[in-house]
Amino acid sequence: MTADTLIEAPDVAQPATGWSQEAIARCVATVVRSRRATRAFKAQPLGRALVEEILADAACAPSGANIQPWRVYVVSGAVKNELTDALVAASRAGTAPAPEHFPEPLPDTYRARLADFGARYYASLGIERHDTPARTRQTERNYAFFGAPVGLVFSIDRRLKAHSWIDLGLFAQSVMIAAKARGIDTCPQVAFAQFHEPIAAHLQMPADEVTAFGMSMGYGDPEAEVNRARMPRERVQDFARLLGFGD
């Protein structure tokens, strides 16, 4: 993006007319706390203009020195279906590198949370622990964006450092919050990262980009049991140290 194509972020710092700061805080808290990783979607379509609104809001996310390192490919319809077919084929062929989502050995605290997630997730789907075929079928639903009408693939310049990846995460979180504020559900999916080669070929990514993760977007199915699974969060006292407050 060149200097003459940059746009100024909208000035929305002032509360909307008639809204108190407390009301705004409650609204934001409701949106943030109601966001869930949604893994079953209705067939209801999502229009391009609405997706562009969400991305425009998310583009106000912060980034170091305002370099805005995020890139996102938004797919729907036949393009999304063709990408899904390519990823399922790559998965079944076993040609993708093994996923490296977590280090080995994974520290015990994180391993316990990972095991708890797996137990809750597969229980909500009615899949037994040793039912490998069923687990494989569910994994492949990742590549179909869990039936969502819109899929997003997030990428970043592979030459950038860890701090820029944090910026990408801030942008993705902003996408999810902006979507939820409009009643639209999402699911961030690291499962796409291991399939960079077929994704890059299908979406014609530049050589300097690398796939970071994917995301499903649409209207979640409230009747699906998997969408009712609740994942616990640590208390503030357990993950934060508040210093110097005098209380």
Considering the entire predicted model, what is its pTM? 0.92
Which H or E run contains 124? helix 108-125
- pLDDT bin (cut points 50, 70, 90) of residue 188 is very high
**Domain spans in the chain, listed from the N-terminal domain onward:** 35-97+142-226
User: Does position 148 have pLDDT exceeding 90, yes or no?
Assistant: yes
The per-residue pLDDT for 1 is 42
The per-residue pLDDT for 12 is 54
CATH superfamily, region 35-97+142-226: NADH Oxidase (3.40.109.10)
167 contacts: CB under 8 Å, gap ≥ 6: 61, 62, 63, 64, 67, 68, 69, 70
User: Does position 224 have pLDDT exceeding 90, yes or no?
Assistant: yes
The per-residue pLDDT for 117 is 97
User: Does position 3 have pLDDT exceeding 70, yes or no?
Assistant: no
The per-residue pLDDT for 18 is 79
